[in-house]
Amino acid sequence: MKNDDEINESSISDLIHYAEDEKRNTFDDEPETDDEFDDEITEKDDETVSDKEEPVSEEVSEETKKNEEETISEEADEEPEDELALEEADEENSSEEEKTLSNNVNYDDDIDYPDYETDVGFFDDLKIGDHKGIIIGVIIGIIVVIAFITIDTGIIGNYKNNFSNNISKVFKTSKTDKNQLPDPTQKPDEQYNTEIKSNEIVSFEGANETEFVPYKNGVVCAKMNHMSYIDGTGTVVWEIDTAIVDPILKVDGNYILIAEKGRNKICLYIDNKLQYDVDDPDTVMSAELSSNGDVVVVTDKSSYRGGISVYNKSGEQIFSWASGSDAVICADISAASRSVAVALLNSDVTAKTTVQLFNVNETESYAKIEMPDTVVYELQFVGDKVNAFGDNRVTGISSSGKIVYDNDFSNVQLTHSAIDSNGNKLLAFDDGNIPMLNLYSKNGFLKNSTTLIGVTDFIDINKKYILYNIGRDIYFGKTNSKVMSKYTAAMDIKNLIIVSDTTFVVIYSNSLEVVTV
Domain borders along the chain are: 4-104, 124-214+413-517, 243-410
Answer for the pair 86, 32: CB distance below 8 angstroms, yes or no. Answer: yes
| pLDDT above 50 for 212 | yes
Rounded CA-CA distance 477/186 in Å is: 13
Cα(374)–Cα(372) distance, integer angstroms: 5
User: For 147-152, what is the mean pLDDT?
Assistant: 70
Contact 355, 397 (CB under 8 A): yes
Choose the weakest-confidence range: 15-19, 79-83, 270-274, 392-396.
Answer: 79-83
Given a cut of 60, whether residue 323 has pLDDT beyond it is yes
Q: Quote the CA–CA distance of 83 and 378 in Å, as a whole number.
A: 104
In the chain the first and final C-alpha atoms are separated, in Å, by: 155
Q: How does residue 54 score in pLDDT terms, banded at 50, 70 and 90?
A: very low
Q: Which of 285-289, 340-344, 412-416 is the least confident region?
A: 412-416
pLDDT at 331 over 50: yes
Q: Of 5-19, 255-269, 293-307, 415-429, which gets the smallest average pLDDT?
A: 5-19
56 pLDDT more than 70 = no
Give me the residues paired with residue 266 across strands.
259, 278
Residue 163: the pLDDT is 55
pLDDT attached to residue 75: 46
C-alpha distances (whole Å) from 248 to each of 47, 83, 192, 211, 212 are: 126, 116, 36, 8, 10
Question: What pLDDT score does 191 carry?
Answer: 75
Rg (CA), the chain: 52
The answer on pLDDT for 99 being more than 70 is no
Counting residues of the chain whose pLDDT is more than 90, the rounded percentage is: 56
In this predicted structure, what is the pLDDT of residue 134?
81
Question: What count of other Cβ atoms lies within 10 Å of the Cβ of residue 126?
Answer: 10
**376 has a pLDDT exceeding 50:** yes
For range 444-473, the mean pLDDT:
94
pLDDT of residue 461: 96
Mean pLDDT of the region 99-125:
48
pLDDT at 160: 61
Q: Considering only 58-72, 182-196, 407-421, which range has the smallest mean pLDDT?
A: 58-72
Whether the predicted pLDDT of 354 surpasses 50: yes
| Rounded mean pLDDT, 385-413 | 95
Weakest mean pLDDT among 22-26, 73-77, 140-144, 189-193: 73-77
- Provide the 3-class DSSP secondary structure of residue 313: coil
Residues facing 476 on adjacent strands: 467, 485
Q: What gap in Å lies between CA 414 and CA 418, rounded to an integer?
A: 12
Query: In the prediction, which pLDDT does 154 show?
Result: 60
- Residues 367/400, Cβ–Cβ less than 8 Å: yes
**Closest among 73, 59, 57, 58 to 20, alpha carbons compared:** 73
**Are 313 and 292 within 8 A, CB to CB?**
yes
Residue 59 — very low, low, confident or very high, per pLDDT cuts 50/70/90?
very low
> Which residue from 335, 510, 336, 498 is spatially nearest to 424, judged by alpha carbons?
498
Going by pLDDT thresholds of 50, 70 and 90, the confidence category of residue 92 is: low
CATH number of 243-410: 2.120.10.30
> Can you tell me whether residue 514 is helix, strand or coil?
strand
Residue 62 half-sphere exposure, CB side, CA atoms within 13 Å? 3
pLDDT attached to residue 17:
58
Phi first, then psi, for residue 237 (nearest 5°) are -80, -45
How far is 242 from 514, CA to CA, in rounded Å? 25
Helix (H) / strand (E) containing 14: helix 4-29
Write the single-letter amino acid at 144. V
> Mind listing the pLDDT tens digit for each residue in 480-498?
777 889 999 999 999 999 9
Maximum average pLDDT range among 38-47, 104-113, 392-401, 478-487: 392-401
Q: E strand or H helix at 68, and its extent? A: helix 58-104
Inter-helix orientation angle 132-150/154-170, to 10° = 70
Instruction: State the average pLDDT for the chain.
Output: 79
φ/ψ of residue 410, rounded to 5: -65, -25
pLDDT at 402: 96
Which pLDDT does position 167 carry in this prediction?
Answer: 45
DSSP H or E segment with residue 90: helix 58-104
Total-model pTM: 0.64
DSSP 8-state symbol, 31: -
Q: Which amino acid is at 297?
A: V
On whether the CB atoms of residues 478 and 178 are closer than 8 A, the answer is no
